Structure 1
Amino acid sequence: MDVRFSTGGGDGIAVTLAFSDRGLPETLKAAAEARGFTGKADETVDLVVADGAVARRALLIGGGPQADFTPVAATAAGRHLSAIAGLGGQALDVRGVPDAVVAAFAFGVLDGAYRDDRYKTAPPTPLAPAALTMIVDAPDACTADFAAMPALAEGIAAARDLANAPPNRMTPPLFADWCRALAIPGLDVEVLDAEALAALGMGALIGVGQGSAAPPCVVVLRWSARGGEAPLAFIGKGVTFDSGGLLPKPAEEMWDMKYDRAGAAAVVGAMIALARRNAAVDAVGIIGLAENMPSGAAQRPGDVVVSHSGQTIEVLHTDAEGRLLLCDLLSYARARFKPSALIDIATLTGGLTSVLTDQYAGLYANDDALAASLTETGEACGERLWRLPLGEAFDRMIDSPVADMQNICKVRWGGTVTAAQFLKRFVGDTPWAHLDIFGPAWNHGAKGRHGATGYGVRLLAAIAERQAAQ
C-alpha cells in the first residue's frame, strides 16, 4: 500500500476522523446526526451527501474523546478502516491530530491490510485500499514519523505468514529455508541442522522432534549494527505443529496447532523489522524448530533427556514440549553470545488465558529493570504484558526423583508458573524474561480475522531499540 501525506487532494471517497468531543464537520453534521453517529471509538457511518449538484460518498470514523486517541488507539482505528470495503483511492482527513498519532493511524491501515490468501484458488478482492492519502497539517513531519512503519508492517506480515502456513507447508526444514531466503543486507542467517544439534548436546530439543519425519533444526539470525558484543538475545519457540506427541491433544485443540510456531515467527518478524530500518542495535534471534508428532520413534512419558546445559530432565508429559525446546536455546545463547539479556517468547501454556484472555501476554522475569522496561514498552506499542511471580516454592514443584528436574508439576495447579520456573533453571545470572503469548498470538475470530496476529514483533523490535538507547 502506498501511503502519502498531503495538505489536501486525494481521489475517491472522503474519509473523516471525527471525535466525540470535537464536533462534526458542518458539511456532514446533519447527515451524520440523522444516522445517530456521535464519534465514539470504532463507530463508523457511511453517508451519501450532496456536493452541489453531485452526490458523493463520505465515511465518518469515530475516534472517541480526542485526548484518548493515543498512538495505540489510532493504530486500532487504522486496522478497523482496512476492514471496510470499497475504500480504494481514498483521502482521509485527519487534520488537527498530532503527527505521531497520524503516523500510528497510517500504520494501523498497513497492518490491517494483511490478508493470507496463499492457498485459495480464487482469492477474494482485497478490502484494503491500494493507496492512502492522508490530509494533514504538516506532511513532512508525518512522513518522518511514518518512515519506520513500513518495515514494522513487513515484519508483522512475515510473522503472520510463518504462523498461518499449513503444517505441511511449514515443517522445520521449510521454515529454515524460508529464513535462508530472506537476503536482507546485514542480516546474517545461520541454520544448525539435526547433526549440529546433536554435536552441541541439545538433547531436550532433539527429543521434541524425534517422532517426526521432518528433522528439527535451529535458526540463528544476527543483526550487528554496533559491533555485535553482548547483543540482546530473542529466543523463539517454533513447534511447527504440535499434536501433543504420545499424549495427544483432543482433535478440536489440534486444528490451530500450527500457531505453536508463533513465538519463532515473532522473533523472525522483529529481526526483519530491525534490519529493514537499519536500527542501531545489536540483536540475535534464535529459533528452535521441531514438529511434535507421535510415532514409534517419539519421545515417551518417563524418558530422561540431557539438555545442552548438561542438566537432566524427566519428560513426564510429551505435550509440555515447548519448555524442552526453549531450555536448550537459552543455555546455548548464554554460552555462545554472552547476551546483555535473554527474552524468550512462546505460545507456552493455554492455562494463562483463563486469567489474561487474549488481552495480555504473561511476563516472568528474574530482573526487575528488564521486566519494567518490557511492561512500559508493551503499553506504549499496544502489546501489553502482565507480570506474574516466580519463587522457590514453585521451583520445588518440578524436582524429579530420577533426574535434575521434570518437565511438569504433578499437581493440578501451577502449570503456567512452573513452566516459567523450569526455564529459569537455564538462564543463570543473565537478565531474562519469559513472554507467554498463548492468548494474544492467535485470533480465533471473535474479533477481526481468524489467524495469527503477529503479536510480539512490535514489542521485541521496540525493546531492542529502547535497550540500545539506554
Structure 2
Amino acid sequence: MTTPAEIQFKEVDLDTVAEASGKVVVFVGPDARLDAGARRVNRLTKKALARFVESDRFEKMSSGDVTQLAFPAGLAADALCVVKLPRRPSVMEARKAGAGLAKAQSESDLLVLAGTLARADEVALGLALRGYTFDAHKTDDKKSEGAITFMVSKPEEVAKSAAPMAAIAEGVFFTRDLTNEPANVLTTDDFAARLAAMQELGLEVEILEEDELEKLGMRTLLSVGQGSASPSKVVVMSWNGGKKGDAPFALIGKGVVFDTGGISLKPPAGMEDMTMDMGGAGVVAGVMRTLALRKANANVVGLVGLVENMPSGTATRPGDVVKSMKGDTVEIINTDAEGRLVLADVLWYAQDRFKPVGMINLATLTGAIIVALGHENAGVFSNSDELSDAFLKAAKTEGEGAWRLPLAPAYDELLKSRIADMKNVGGRMAGSITAAQFLQRFVKDDVPWCHLDIAGTASVKKETALAPAGATGWGVMALNRLIADKYEG
C-alpha cells in the first residue's frame, strides 16, 4: 500500500527509460500526439507505440483508461502502460488514470513519464487510493510493493502540491483500516486507543468512560452497550489550528463496533458485515487525521460514540424507556435502531460543551437508505440549506456521491409514543427520513446541521473507481474539502 508521500517525483531523465525495470508508463492525449517521453519510448520500441496509438484499440479507449503492451521490444521493462489522457485533464480524469495504473501495477516498479502533464499530483493520489490493500490478517498472502517514480519537469512543485494529498490519503486509509477490522480486534478499547495515539499528530484526545457518561446523563448511548462486555465510550478529538477562541465546527460519528441488533436480533445471513457499523466514527477519525497532518487552519472537534450492541441478560429490551442527556424520554421499540440512540446523546453533548458553528454527523444508520439510493450516494438531511449546499458542492468536487432527502414535521407523527416523548423507530415507511427526524430533535434550532446516512457508501461488495471491495473511506475527502473551503481562515 503506497501513499502519495512515498511516491517519488524526479526530474525527467529519458536516458534511463530503456533500462527501467517493472513497467514504464506514458500518457497520450485523445489527439494521439506524443510528448517527449512518449517519443523516446516510440523510438526505443521501433515505433510500436505509434502503431498502437493509430489503432482502433486506442481510439476506443476512454479518458483515463490504461492499456498494457507486454514485453515491449527495446525496453527492459515487462510492460509499457499507455494511458489515454489529455495534457490538461480534469481532477476526476487524472484520478481515474491513477486508479488504472494501480490495477496495472501488480507488484512491479512503475516509472511514470509524466513530463509536463498537468495534475500529475492527482494521478498520484488516484494511484495511491486504488492501490490500498487490507491484508493485516493474512499470514502468507501479503502484496509486496513496487517503487513508484514520476518523472516530471518540475519535481519540487509537483511534490509540494502532492503533500496535502498525502494527508488526505492517510486519512482515507485510516478510515478504511478501522472499518475493515474485525470486531474481535477493533473493540471499543482498541478503537479508543488508536484515536488516543493521534495525540502524536497534535490532536487533543479525551476519552470519556462509562462512569462519566452516566454522570452526564447519556443514558440513550449507554443503553445500547449495556448488554456487551465491551465498555461504552465517547472519544473527543480536537484540532485547534484556527484562531484561538473561535468556536469549532463539529463532526460526530456513530461507532457501533459490532451490531447484532441486540434483543431484536438480526438474521444471521450477512451479520458478519456489521463490523462496518462503526463507519461513521471511522470517517470522523480519518478527517481529524487529515486535518492534523496537513495542519489545517481551522478549529474542528470530532466526537465518536463507541459501543457494541449485544444480546445478553443485561441488554436493553424492546419496550424499555430511557432518558437522553437532553432530558427527553425514548421508548425503545427496536433495539436494532441503536445508532440514533448513540448519536442523540453525542449530538447534544457536542452542542452543550463546544457551542459549534455547525455540525455534521455520519452514521451507517439505515438499510432504507440503500433501498433509496443504492451504493452510489449517501443520504443527506439538513436543517440548513447553506451547510447542505456547501457539503454537496464539496462532495461533487471530490467525486463522492451524495443526495439530499427531505425533512418535514409530518414525519414526526410516525415517532409518537404512547408512554414516552418519542419512539426510536417510525415503521417501515420513510425509514431513513424518520431516523433523521429523530436526530433532529437533538439539534438546537440555531445550529446548522447535516446528517449523513452512509450505510450504502461506507463499505461495498464490489470495487469502486478509487477503492477495492470493502471499506471505501467515503466522506473523508468531501469533509476535508468542506472544511478547507468554508471554515479555514
Within the alignment, does 1:337 sit opposite 2:354 as a pair? yes
How far apart are the structure 2 equivalents of 1:211 and 1:467? 41
The residue number in structure 2 matching 1:256 is: 273
Deviation at 1:289, TM superposition (A): 0.5
The change in CA–CA distance for 1:56 and 1:454 in structure 2 (over 3 A counts) is closer
- Contact 1:37-1:43 within 8 A present in 2 as well: no
- 5 Å matches for 1:366-385? 366-385=383-402
The change in CA–CA distance for 1:94 and 1:87 in structure 2 (over 3 A counts) is farther
What SS class does the counterpart of residue 121 from structure 2 fall into?
helix
Deviation at 1:84, TM superposition (A): 2.1
Code of the aligned partner of 2:457: P
The residue number in structure 1 matching 2:8 is: 4
How far apart are the structure 1 equivalents of 2:407 and 2:74? 67
Deviation at 1:113, TM superposition (A): 2.6
Code of the aligned partner of 2:114: V
The residue number in structure 2 matching 1:392 is: 409
Within the alignment, does 1:77 sit opposite 2:77 as a pair? no
Percent sequence identity is 39
The residue number in structure 2 matching 1:359 is: 376
1:325-367 residue CA offsets vs partner (Å, 9 max, x unmatched) = 0010000000000000010011111211223222211111101
The residue number in structure 1 matching 2:45 is: none
How far apart are the structure 2 equivalents of 1:355 and 1:56? 46
Code of the aligned partner of 2:50: K
The change in CA–CA distance for 1:215 and 1:50 in structure 2 (over 3 A counts) is closer
How far apart are the structure 1 equivalents of 2:77 and 2:120? 28
TM-score scaled by length of structure 1: 0.93
What SS class does the counterpart of residue 145 from structure 1 fall into?
helix
Gaps of 5+ in 1: none
The residue number in structure 1 matching 2:46 is: none
The residue number in structure 2 matching 1:289 is: 306
In the alignment, which of 120, 126, 132 is matched to residue 114 of structure 1?
132
Code of the aligned partner of 1:392: P
- 5 Å matches for 1:22-171? 22-23=32-33, 27=42, 28-31=49-52, 36-38=57-59, 39-41=61-63, 43-48=65-70, 52=74, 57-63=79-85, 69-86=89-106, 88-98=108-118, 101-126=119-144, 128-129=145-146, 131-171=147-187
How far apart are the structure 2 equivalents of 1:440 and 1:168? 23
The change in CA–CA distance for 1:49 and 1:216 in structure 2 (over 3 A counts) is closer
How far apart are the structure 1 equivalents of 2:262 and 2:31? 56
Deviation at 1:60, TM superposition (A): 1.3
How far apart are the structure 2 equivalents of 1:422 and 1:188? 30
What SS class does the counterpart of residue 83 from structure 1 fall into?
helix
The residue number in structure 2 matching 1:456 is: 475
Code of the aligned partner of 1:102: A
Deviation at 1:33, TM superposition (A): 5.1
What SS class does the counterpart of residue 181 from structure 1 fall into?
helix
Deviation at 1:87, TM superposition (A): 5.6
Bigger Cα displacement from structure 2, 114-123 vs 235-244: 114-123
Deviation at 1:152, TM superposition (A): 1.3
- 5 Å matches for 1:163-312? 163-226=179-242, 227-312=244-329
Gaps of 5+ in 2: 43-48
The change in CA–CA distance for 1:50 and 1:434 in structure 2 (over 3 A counts) is closer
- Contact 2:134-2:177 within 8 A present in 1 as well: yes
The residue number in structure 1 matching 2:28 is: 18
Deviation at 1:7, TM superposition (A): 4.1
The residue number in structure 1 matching 2:432 is: 416
Bigger Cα displacement from structure 2, 39-48 vs 271-280: 39-48
TM-score scaled by length of structure 2: 0.89
Aligned length: 463
How far apart are the structure 1 equivalents of 2:460 and 2:78? 36
How far apart are the structure 1 equivalents of 2:72 and 2:187? 56
Code of the aligned partner of 2:57: G
How far apart are the structure 1 equivalents of 2:277 and 2:51? 50
Code of the aligned partner of 2:135: D
Code of the aligned partner of 2:378: A
What SS class does the counterpart of residue 148 from structure 2 fall into?
strand
Deviation at 1:293, TM superposition (A): 0.8
What SS class does the counterpart of residue 94 from structure 1 fall into?
strand
Code of the aligned partner of 1:14: V
- Contact 1:21-1:66 within 8 A present in 2 as well: no
How far apart are the structure 1 equivalents of 2:360 and 2:101? 33
Code of the aligned partner of 2:110: Q
Within the alignment, does 1:436 sit opposite 2:446 as a pair? no
How far apart are the structure 2 equivalents of 1:52 and 1:457? 43
- Contact 1:262-1:347 within 8 A present in 2 as well: yes
The change in CA–CA distance for 1:49 and 1:206 in structure 2 (over 3 A counts) is closer
Deviation at 1:110, TM superposition (A): 1.7
How far apart are the structure 2 equivalents of 1:3 and 1:276? 17
1:108-151 residue CA offsets vs partner (Å, 9 max, x unmatched) = 1122232111111113323x53x322233433332221111111
Deviation at 1:178, TM superposition (A): 1.6
Deviation at 1:54, TM superposition (A): 6.8
The change in CA–CA distance for 1:33 and 1:440 in structure 2 (over 3 A counts) is farther
